[in-house]
Amino acid sequence: MLDVLKFKSPTKDTGKGKGRIDVNDVVIRFGKGADTHLAVDKTEVTIEAGEFVCILGPSGCGKSTLLNAIAGYVKPSEGAVTVDGDTVQKPGPDRGMVFQQYSLLPWKTVYENVAFGPKMAGHSRTESGSIANTFLELVGLKKFGDRYPAELSGGMQQRVGIARALANYPSVLLMDEPFGALDAQTRLMMQESLLEIWRKFGTTVVFVTHDVDEAVFLADRVLIMSAAPGRIIEDVRIDLPRPRSTDMASTPEYVKARQFCLDIIKAESRKAFENQNT
């Protein structure tokens, strides 16, 4: 686990109290005419500022599409997404994004990757460097600032990706299966580390995953989507105490929440399989 408990919180406003997301009757279609594909059906949900919410569902159900609509990469065909009351029209610094693939600039050092966003936002070289060092310290990688991405392990690269996403002080952190490519042990360590970073930083997190255990371990709420076309069919509150540890996996509360989510996912995955073969 990363030692971020000693980290000194940034003096800049980190967006605490901000980051409320409203998904209002969103429909997302791709293509036109006979080739139209309905990816997300009528979907409505509110995510409160500072919540950690996981989106769970069978493959191809529109989880990432919905996340991309919140990010501003995909425009809803109907309805709207708002963040703190403002309609999302395009990507913005108030929403940081972390992908499954690390998406780091390979020709830049770790330090330069994290400083890049603040520099593009208009900060001076000194300010950008200070911000980069702050967030590299937060994810436990300050001493690796002069390394290049190819010199780091997958888990370390993803920690750089998280630092880079947080360096613009977003009110919302969007994560699209960020630990999916990691081995099981590294994945567990990253989950615990992310919870510590979230506790320290206080931003809203929307985390897409196909892993039931990951969702139950991380989230305040798990939003379960149906088989395609995707829509939210369950909003499951996870009443496990925080801080959390992997020891909780054997508690009755964890087992109950996991089984409830798993039963729904199994049913929806079966529907998806049947739809593909009809």
pLDDT tens readout for residues 153-197: 988 999 999 999 999 999 999 999 998 888 888 889 889 989 999
120, 218: one domain: no
- Mean pLDDT, the chain, rounded, equals 89
Q: Do 190 and 266 sit in the same domain of this protein?
A: yes
Considering the domain architecture, whether residues 222 and 154 belong to the same structural domain is answered as no
Q: What is the reported pLDDT for 103?
A: 80
pLDDT of residue 5: 30
Q: How confident is the model at residue 100 (pLDDT cuts 50, 70, 90)?
A: confident
8 is a domain residue? no
For residue 133, the model assigns a pLDDT of 93
Instruction: Assess whether 192 and 251 both reside in one domain.
Output: yes
Both 55 and 165 in one domain: the answer is no
The reply to whether 190 and 259 lie within a common domain is yes
Domain boundary among 118, 134, 169: 169
Name which residue leads in pLDDT, 1 or 164.
Answer: 164
- On the question of pLDDT at 115 being above 60, the answer is yes
Same domain, 193 and 252: yes
Looking at 146, 169, 192, which one is the last position of a domain? 169
Q: Poorest-confidence range of 1-15, 49-63, 93-107, 255-269?
A: 1-15
Residues 31 and 149 in one domain: no
Could you tell me the pLDDT band of residue 246, with boundaries at 50, 70 and 90? confident
pLDDT of residue 35: 85
* Pair 83, 198 in one domain: yes
Better-scored residue on pLDDT, 135 or 181: 135
What is the chain written as a DSSP string? ----TTPPPPSS---TT---EEEEEEEEEES-GGG-EEEEEEEEEEE-TT-EEEEE-STTSSHHHHHHHHHTSS--SEEEEEETTEEP-S--TTEEEE-SS----TTS-HHHHHHHHHHHTT--HHHHHHHHHHHHHHTT-GGGTTS-GGGS-HHHHHHHHHHHHHTT--SEEEEESTTTTS-HHHHHHHHHHHHHHHHHH--EEEEEES-HHHHHHH-SEEEEEPSSSB-EEEEEE----SS--GGGGGSHHHHHHHHHHHHHHHHHHHHHHHHHT-
Is the domain of 164 the same as that of 180?
no
Predicted pLDDT at 6: 34
| 16 occurs within a structural domain | no
Q: What is the CATH number of the domain that holds 89?
A: 3.40.50.300
Choose one of 136, 169, 202: the last residue of a domain.
169
Tens digit of pLDDT for each residue in 11-62? 344 445 899 999 999 999 998 888 899 999 999 999 999 999 999 999 889 9
Residue 3 inside a domain? The answer is no
pLDDT digits (tens, 9 = 90+) for 188-208: 988 998 999 999 889 999 999
Q: What pLDDT shows up at residue 273? A: 73
For the cut 70, the answer to whether the pLDDT of residue 2 exceeds it is no
With respect to residue 10, please indicate whether it lies within any of the assigned structural domains. no
**Enclosing domain of residue 227:** 21-94+176-276
- Do residue 182 and residue 272 come from a single domain? yes
- The total domain count for the chain is 2
Q: What is the mean pLDDT of residues 219-233?
A: 95
pTM comes to: 0.89
In-domain check, residue 9:
no
Res 10 pLDDT > 80: no
Domain check: are 188 and 75 in the same one? yes
